[in-house]
Structure 1
Amino acid sequence: MKFIIRAMYLTALLTFSSWAQQVSLDRVAVIVDQGVILESEIEALVADVRRNAQNNDQQLPADRVLRTQAIERLILKNLQMQMAERMGIQVSDPQLEQTIANIAQGEGMNVPQLRDELSKEGMSYDDYREDVREELIIGEVRRANVRRRIYITPQEIDALVKLMDEQGAEQAEYQLGHILIGLPSEPAEDVIEDARSRAEKVIKLLNDGSDFARIAITSSSGSEALEGGDMGWLNINSMPTLFAEAVQGKDKGELIGPIRSGAGFHILKIKDTRGIEKVTVEEVNARHILIKPSIILSEDKAKEMLVKFRQQVIDGEAEFAALAKEHSDDPGSALKGGNLGWADPNMYVPAFKEALANLEPGEYSKPIRSSHGWHLIQLEDRRIDDATDKRKEDKASQLIYNRKFKEESEAWIREMRDAAYIEVL
């Protein structure tokens, strides 16, 4: 009996000791407003960066520097997740699974294959799912808060369209590396000079052959720091205006900077350049008659009506336009004799798009069922349209939006960070 009691005591002691050790390892490392960052989160992010660096044969800075960058990344994520909770933003499991399926498809895999790849890299699928969920939530928070800060004037669009016409700027894309020596919101003069001096030292190190990605991880305050400063491929009109002016006329491999902005001093490296092929799209000009089944009109009866209309038109007994005006349940096109005008077929629902793909100009479809009801379709013509010219204004608007969104995102994050209560324990 004494032996049993002693064994139970030792077991309890060991269990308490293990629990105490676990608590000491997974302590609160940072207080972020109403939330906290645990030591385990920092270690997990640092381990992930190390794993990616090893896979890419990339050197990393000292542990202290890497930890500081990881903490800053987690602070920003924590602040945005707290805002998402206040805004009630959530991502459902079906939406999450669909996103992961799309990611896997983009990599040429299915979800089970993606799980296997994650396992080989030492990452659990459950952790990956939650990372994707957080990215979706953070993206929605950012869009919701930044979108209302953006205003695009017609004059801006006109000016960009003119620039695109004159310079063909839409043809140029740059793969940029970015290092930001950051400044606070209202810096003193000595703080500015210190940042300028550090930026010039970084330029000297890079000119002397230091690795750009390693310096970015070590020194950059930019949002891409842990990715080695890689901004990816950017159209010259979608990057910040400051960068667009700086990279024009520069060649692959060139270093640019330091460039001063409100955020600090920027150093850029043109890692590569490429052009864009002219974009064309096939458009179709079609018309249709839509009959919607109802309590009064059955599915079979609706289909039979269109079979009858089709034969009448083919036999010359009726005009398609007249039938559409009299019978079509699509009010937008009925008044125009069923005409839908020139359009990209991808804008139509799948069944309608598929029917158009199988028609020759002038041909009538058999009645087809879509989510809207039963359709009789005539393809009037096809054409290859120069999408570059047709969509120039839309493209200019989107490019300006993307540029302003990036600029305003950085400003919004900086303001949120400055207003937050942060305590590193």
Structure 2
Amino acid sequence: MTHRLLALTAASLALCAALSTQAQGLKPLAAPNIRLQPTATLQADFIVAVVNSEPITNNEVRAEMQRLLQQLAQQRRAPPDSKLLAAQVLERLINDKAQLQLARESGVRVDDTAVDLAEQNIARQNQMEVAELRRRIVADGMVLSQFRDQLRDQLMLTRLRERDVEPRVRVSDLEVDQYLREQQQSATVDPASLEINLSQILVAVPDAATPVQIAALQTKAQRALDRARAGEDFVTLVREFSDATDSASRANGGQLGLRTADRYPPLFVEATQALSVGDVSAVVRSGAGFHVLKVLEKKNTGLPAMSVTQSRARHILLRVSPQLSEAAARTKLADFKKRIVAGQADFATLARDNSQDGSAAQGGDLGWANPGMFVPEFEEVMNRLTPSQVSDPLVSRFGVHLIQLMERRNTALSPREQRETVRAMLREKKLDETYATWSQDLRGRAYVEMREPPL
């Protein structure tokens, strides 16, 4: 029972560092992992490794293996070879041990209040009181002090990584630009979805031109290209070199207009497909003569616009206190829901009169929210609602809520939001790489003595 119960706690351990009430008290926090060791399944123990004089036992490895195998079973995934899994688990425990030692030596501390807060949030996530959580842990043959020690260790590891790893990670504007440029260039382009705007210098070749005349005209086009690539103004070069008969085109600096690629000559598309905006093509020969092409705009409309599903919800929050128990708050909000559904009360009015949240003055309206803005326990319930539907009372780390979904919409991200989305993605990737390097370095500096292999 405990493993099923605490499978939910990874999300709820987000608790530790702070319980800020920004964004209506619903902003999520990062969640560490927790390992639990059911004593009933363990056998005679022995030391499998020593990390800077601290031992790791066979039972620690077996308990972690058991937890991972349960996760794989829940996900209906085949388990790996047991020896391989044991080796991987042992290596992870060695890394954790070395990091915990560094945390303690460098002054990272987690007091009892933080552990209490973690425990309270695990209980709330599982819709129970702390006393009930402790009773179930003990009933399943687990040691309560060990459970709290593991909470403390995980909180300490999280704080260490936040202190020593996260400040090392930076994503520059140039990195964002490069990623976007590479994605644009590497995408498979459908000519019907690629829009381009080209400017051209046309050096016309008469139908009866001799080879000598053709060579001279090609040299003229090459001279225009050389000057364009040297940085001279393309519009000026159009006026000097271009023989285009379209006066509007000449007046616009040779612009051919933004259009889909299938409306351009294939020669033009082929000559410019690898170019970025601002680049100039090599000289291109067509039936009309020699062309020098400059890319003014390029858009791949076939790439899906970056968009998110936004939700607009309102809520009533009742905070648990000595004067209002969690059970009483649930009962009160259940009564509110009954009255709202029956048309006997208005949600916004009840929120203004009763909600203990900054949104009360707006009738509980939380505004349009992107995914991830609220803590998981709140967002999961909100995401299951249909417009106008009212949830049952739910418990979060901030109290007891009643939610009504007002609207839902798909919204394209603005260019600035798209850049920030890319920046966040690149930062997560760099964070993983930085953590791996940092962890390997710390592992390499630790004294590790391997004893008996785990069984």
Q: What is the TM-score with the length of structure 1 in the denominator?
A: 0.40
Q: Which has the larger radius of gyration?
A: 2
Name the structure with the higher helix share: 1
Q: What is the TM-score with the length of structure 2 in the denominator?
A: 0.37
Structure with higher RCO (Cα < 8 A, 6+ apart) = 2
